């Protein structure tokens, strides 16, 4: 297969900082589009992958799966995009397209294995995928999103992972009028969850370990914010919440939050702690409560989310950086020192 060379930022080893390198992307196929990447968000799972928290990766790794750009070329059989269109690529860039899950529009659960934006075997090229910390991306149009004309495009880029990661479970578990929804953690995922849950019409209660974020939660739209170390404030919500979305990506005690659920309530984990979490049997048996998980969303639902966020003027609170500052950004992300999402201005890659 003909390949093209593309400038990118990545690393060959978890102990080596990200640096400029050249990768090979496949040339445009009949159903592909090529985009110039304008902005790429930095997700906590990018950090996990670079550090090999989920296992060693084939070198090199180029992170990035919140990819917003402009179409620069289209294959001969492309129907839904033209050169000049704004477009987005999230976590999914390929699937089998015919299994039960793909037919239901939940490609993220593809029975034959989904192809992710980076660090995933690429069935087309025979190599593996490289992410959005790069000059351009080539993808089958089926997995490319039509990007609404957000006033601030950089702030919209994180919706391609953070947005769908919280939108999908909020919709699936029925967040809306008459529902009390808890949001555990105010970070890249949690701050978007507050905005979306509120726009859906739910009453939103935020739980945070950071005193400084209690007031910020209200700025983001939460009805109430609770410092999780305040035992009395926590006790006031015992058996009160219909649903809690857990966005924490570090080891934590979820049993405390199971106790805040009403009967038949659910805590849904969307963060990715690298260590196992323990669940006490009585914390789910009493009250018929559930501890569940959710993983991004399908392509159609991601498009639905983008349109919903555009309609309700929802974007991420972001700090824009140059690609040359990405290692410092990863260090700050690991410490929780960002409000609330780093977004790379990819024009800096050519500087």
State pTM to two decimals: 0.95
- Flag whether 17 is in a domain: yes
Is the domain of 151 the same as that of 183? no
pLDDT at 118 over 70: yes
Query: Tens of pLDDT along 16-71?
Result: 999 999 999 999 999 999 999 999 999 988 998 998 887 777 889 999 999 999 99
Long-range (24+ apart) CB contacts under 8 A made by 323-328 are 323/9, 323/133, 323/348, 323/349, 324/348, 324/351, 326/9, 326/18, 326/42, 326/133, 327/17, 327/18
Is the pLDDT at 340 greater than 90? The verdict is yes
CATH of the domain at 265: 3.40.50.720
Pair 134, 222 in one domain: no
Q: Is residue 304 part of a domain?
A: no
Helix axis angle, 212-220 relative to 190-199, nearest 10°? 40
CA 243-247-252 angle, to 5 degrees, is 95
Give me the pLDDT at residue 266, please. 98
What residue numbers bound the domain in which 176 lies?
A: 162-293
Do 140 and 185 belong to one domain?
A: no
Q: Using omega within 30 degrees of 0 as the cis cutoff, is the peptide bond preceding 60 cis?
A: yes
**pLDDT at residue 172 above 70?**
yes
Q: What rounded mean pLDDT belongs to the chain?
A: 95
Q: Examine residue 305 and state whether it is found in any structural domain, yes or no.
A: no
Out of 293, 309, 326, pick the residue that ends a domain. Answer: 293
Residue 66 maps to a domain: yes
Does a structural domain hold residue 307? no
DSSP-derived letter for residue 179 is -
One domain, residues 157 and 10: yes
Query: Are 151 and 176 within one domain?
Result: no
* The pLDDT of residue 1: 67
Q: Clarify whether residues 206 and 334 are in a common domain.
A: no
Instruction: Please check whether residues 107 and 240 belong to one and the same domain.
Output: no
Residue whose C-alpha is closest to residue 343's, from 70, 159, 157, 173: 157
The domain total for the chain is 2
> To the nearest 5 percent, what fractions of the chain are helix, strand and coil?
30, 30, 45
Dihedral (Cα; 297, 99, 79, 29), 10-degree rounding: 100
Q: Are residues 172 and 131 in the same domain?
A: no
308 occurs within a structural domain: no
Residue 85 has pLDDT above 90, yes or no: yes
Q: Does residue 190 sit in the same domain as residue 80? A: no
Instruction: Tell me the CATH number at 79.
Output: 3.90.180.10
pLDDT in tens, 269-318: 999 888 899 999 999 999 999 999 999 999 999 999 999 999 999 999 99
Verify that 215 and 119 share a domain, yes or no: no
Q: What is the pLDDT of residues 208-257, one digit of tens each?
A: 998 889 989 999 999 999 999 999 999 999 999 999 999 998 889 999 99
Say if CB 340 and CB 191 are below 8 A apart.
yes
Shared-domain flag, residues 127 and 252? no
Query: Does residue 2 have a pLDDT over 80?
Result: no
The pLDDT of residue 59 is 85
Alpha helices in the chain (DSSP H): 44-50, 100-103, 153-156, 162-172, 190-199, 212-220, 231-235, 255-258, 281-285, 299-311, 326-334
Q: Which helix (H) or strand (E) holds 37?
A: strand 32-42
- Please indicate, yes or no, if residue 227 is contained in any of the structural domains: yes
Q: Looking at residue 53, what is its pLDDT?
A: 83
Q: Do 330 and 249 lie in a common domain?
A: no
Answer whether residue 191 is part of any domain.
Answer: yes
Share of the chain above pLDDT 70, in %: 100
């Amino acid at each position: 297969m003909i390949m093209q060379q593309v400038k990118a930022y990545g690393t060959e080893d978890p102990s080596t900082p990200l640096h400029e390198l050249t990768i090979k992307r496949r040339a445009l196929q009949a159903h592909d589009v090529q985009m110039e990447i304008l902005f790429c968000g930095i997700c906590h799972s990018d950090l996990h992958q670079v550090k090999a928290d989920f296992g060693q990766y084939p070198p090199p790794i180029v992170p990035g799966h919140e990819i917003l750009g402009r179409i620069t070329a289209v294959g001969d059989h492309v129907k839904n995009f033209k050169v000049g269109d704004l477009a987005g690529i999230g976590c999914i860039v390929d699937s089998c397209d015919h299994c039960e899950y793909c037919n239901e529009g939940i490609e993220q659960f593809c029975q034959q294995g989904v192809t992710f934006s980076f660090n995933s075997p690429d069935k087309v090229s025979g190599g593996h995928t490289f992410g959005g910390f790069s000059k351009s991306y080539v993808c089958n149009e089926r997995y490319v999103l039509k990007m609404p004309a957000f006033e601030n495009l950089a702030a919209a880029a994180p919706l391609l992972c953070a947005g769908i990661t919280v939108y999908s479970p909020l919709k699936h578990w029925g967040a809306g009028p008459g529902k009390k929804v808890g949001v555990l953690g105010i970070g890249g995922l949690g701050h978007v969850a507050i905005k979306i849950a509120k726009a859906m019409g739910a009453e939103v209660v935020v739980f945070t370990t950071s005193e400084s974020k209690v007031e910020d939660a209200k700025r983001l739209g939460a009805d109430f914010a609770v410092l999780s170390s305040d035992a009395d404030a926590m006790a006031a919500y015992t058996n009160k919440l219909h649903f809690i979305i857990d966005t924490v990506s570090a080891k934590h005690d979820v049993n405390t939050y199971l106790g805040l659920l009403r009967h038949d309530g659910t805590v849904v984990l969307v963060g990715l702690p690298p260590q196992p979490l323990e669940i006490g049997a009585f914390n789910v048996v009493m009250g018929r409560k559930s501890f569940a998980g959710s993983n991004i969303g399908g392509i159609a639902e991601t498009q639905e989310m983008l349109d919903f966020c555009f309609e309700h003027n929802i974007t991420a609170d972001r700090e824009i950086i140059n690609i040359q500052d990405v290692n410092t950004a990863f260090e700050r992300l690991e410490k929780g020192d960002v409000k609330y999402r780093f977004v790379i201005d990819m024009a800096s890659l050519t500087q």
